[in-house]
Amino acid sequence: MKRLNLLSLMLVLTAAPMASAQPSEFAALKLRTIGPANMSGRAVDIAVVEKDPIQIYAATATGGVWATRDNGITWAPVFENEAVHAVGTISIFQAKPDILWVGTGERANRQMQIGALTKLVAELAAKRNH
C-alpha cells in the first residue's frame, strides 16, 4: 500500500506544474524521434531483495537479466554470457540474496505454446488409434 501511495504522490507532484503550462510555451518546440523505431526489450519479471529494496533485478524477454543497486538509476547486465538470452522468470533466494534463480525461455512464446499443443494433439491421436 505504501508503494501505491508513493506512486500516487509522485504523479500528483509531477502533474501539477504541467497543468499550468500554456500552449504558447510549447510553440517553438518541434516534434522529433528520440528513441529507436523498433521497440523491444520487454520486461517479463522483476525481483527485489526484501532486506535491501533498492537492489532490483529485471528479466527481459530477449535481453537477459539486468541488475540495479541504486533503485533503478543505473542498470548492468548480469546474464549476458549465457547460452540463452530469453528469460521468462527470475526469483531471489531471500535468505541469501546473492542467489538468483533464472528461468530461461520466454513464458509467453507463442511458437512454443503452439508446438506443445500440436504435440499433445498428436499424442492423444496416437493413444486413440492403439
Residue 80's contacts (CB-CB under 8 Å, 6 or more residues apart) are 64
- pLDDT for res 119: 60
Closest CA to 55 of 100, 102, 10: 100
Low-confidence ranges of the chain (pLDDT < 70): 1-20, 33-41, 106-130
Asked whether the whole model's pTM tops 0.85, one would answer: no
Lay out the sheet containing 64-68: strands in order across. Answer: 43-48, 56-60, 64-68, 76-77
The predicted-structure confidence for 94-112, as pLDDT tens digits, reads as follows: 999 989 998 887 655 555 5
The predicted-structure confidence for 74-86, as pLDDT tens digits, reads as follows: 999 998 888 877 8
Domain boundaries, the chain: 2-129
